[in-house]
Amino acid sequence: MDSGKENMRVMLINPSVSPIEIYGKYRRLGAVIPPLGLCYIAAVLEKNGYRVRILDANALRLSKAEILEYIRQFTPGLVGIYSATMSFYNAQNIAQAVKKLDPRIKTVLGGPHISAMPHESMQEGFFDFGAIGEGEYTALQLIEALENSGNLSKVDGLIRYEGDVIANAPRQPIKDLDSLPFPARHLLPPLDIYKPKAIMYKKLPSTQIFTSRGCPYQCVFCQNPFGRRVRYHSPEYVVSEIEHLTKDYGIRDIVINDDTFTVNKERVHEICDLIDRRNIDIKWSCNVRVDCVDLPLLKRMKGAGCWLIMPGLESGNDGILKTLKKGITVEQGRNVCRWARQVGLWIKPSFIIGNPLETENSIEDTIEFAVSLKTHYPSFALMTPLPGAELWETAEQYGVFDRSDLAKLTPSQNACFVPYGLCADYLIRKQKEAFRRCYLNLGMIIRHLKGISSFEDVRKMSHAAMAIVH
């Protein structure tokens, strides 16, 4: 681009969301994580000559007035705002305030919520534009069109408000993820301002990465904003990013946030081989599906620094798993947890209470299953249908679903979906009971005491214990 002229300035905002809003009674276990989606967009814009600022209002705990002051000082021509479903109202409020500050500033909404509900997100006119799906090149082409009075209808993946909602052709997924620069973490506050979940790290400082996009599975509760086809960063790209984080940011622990890191087992072996070959001292954890791992893979992962796996088990009842279209069995979950214990990996399985067709007996199956697995950090969410998930459309077939307040769609604390035959108070009581029965028993206490190897282990254990006792 022409470096002799001042290109449009761009500010990307991650709205503030209170830990109480997200985690409620479990806020002591909560996390504040870097907005990597914004970092990818910023990296592409910087690569193309634009001056970009990321304002992580969530990490900095900024008020709306403070956000506006940052905008006033930076004088952007375009403000992009990220929004998950529960933060959508916050994003709307920021966009409305930006227009009052300076009507000439163009506002763009991005993130999973608008990808799931594009027309509904735009129809009130708070935003000039929305980016559906992957936003890196939609943002770049939008800015180029605005600067050059180009044809906005040619920007794939764009939805716009011009008195009415107009949607352009969809943007095709990025085929070569390695063509993306590393996320622009240098535009964030110091990484030590971010807080991983109290139990989700082995060493500090810790951060997150993505090594793939997309998930091929059909779980009825999942938004899956990147689609069914999985696209991968190459092992070389992944390990180079890990090396970059260790050398340039002093990172000692990484959470791999892919929907399912182990879908391609051969690729995981290659990543582990590269970590060893480059002598990278790093601890890491990842999500796994129990039908996509085996004992040899878990051994290899452990040898390359993996310390924790996070299998999505969801239920201890095979009938409920079928209803969820999870595609796994209770026995597969039991086997993977046994293998992980055998090789010395810690385990953070996730379960859901209040599923479609759930009964008191099936909830008891799940709690008994969770206790029997002898894991380390089991979690219990309340079923929360989200826009874009199959269950968002079909929830009323199975129960009562309160979708009137998007901010309350938080699986940690609100029973917004209640299966027929049960009640919200019962689900919340069983969620608390599940945590108590799993954590406040002698076997769990002994497992954690045996795992203490540093003062940091003691500190995070005490935080987790206080949250559970509460």
The tens digit of pLDDT for each residue in 262-303 reads: 999 999 999 999 999 999 999 999 999 999 999 999 999 999
Closest CA to 167 of 232, 227, 121: 121
Distance between CA atoms of 340 and 300, rounded to whole angstroms? 11
Tokens found for residue 293? 């791992």
355, 273: one domain: yes
What is the three-class DSSP state of 361?
A: helix
Q: Which domain holds residue 271?
A: 177-181+199-469
Cα–Cα distance, 126 to 94 (Å, whole number): 9
CATH classification at residue 323? 3.20.20.70
Query: Is 213 contained in some domain?
Result: yes
Residue 330's pLDDT is: 98
> Would residue 190 count as lying in a domain?
no
Considering the domain architecture, whether residues 361 and 247 belong to the same structural domain is answered as yes
- What's the whole-number mean pLDDT along residues 91-108? 96
pTM of the model: 0.93
Per the structure, how many domains does the chain have? 2
CATH no. for residue 39? 3.40.50.280
Q: How far apart are CA 107 and CA 20, in angstroms?
A: 28
pLDDT tens-place string over residues 154-199: 999 999 998 889 999 999 999 999 999 999 999 999 988 888 876 7
138 and 228 part of one domain: no
- Taking only the tens place, the pLDDT of each residue in 313-338 is 999 999 999 999 999 999 999 999 99
Residue at 269: amino acid letter: H
On whether residue 191 sits in a domain, the answer given is no
Residues 15 and 143 reside in one and the same domain:
yes
Residue 5 lies in a domain: no
Instruction: Identify whether 462 is part of a domain.
Output: yes
* Interatomic CA distance for residues 65 and 306, integer angstroms: 42
Whether residue 391 sits in one domain with residue 249: yes
* Kind of pairing between the strands at 346-347 and 350-353: unpaired
Q: How confident is the model at residue 429 (pLDDT cuts 50, 70, 90)?
A: very high
Question: Tens digit of pLDDT for each residue in 378-418?
Answer: 999 999 999 999 999 999 999 999 998 888 888 877 899 99
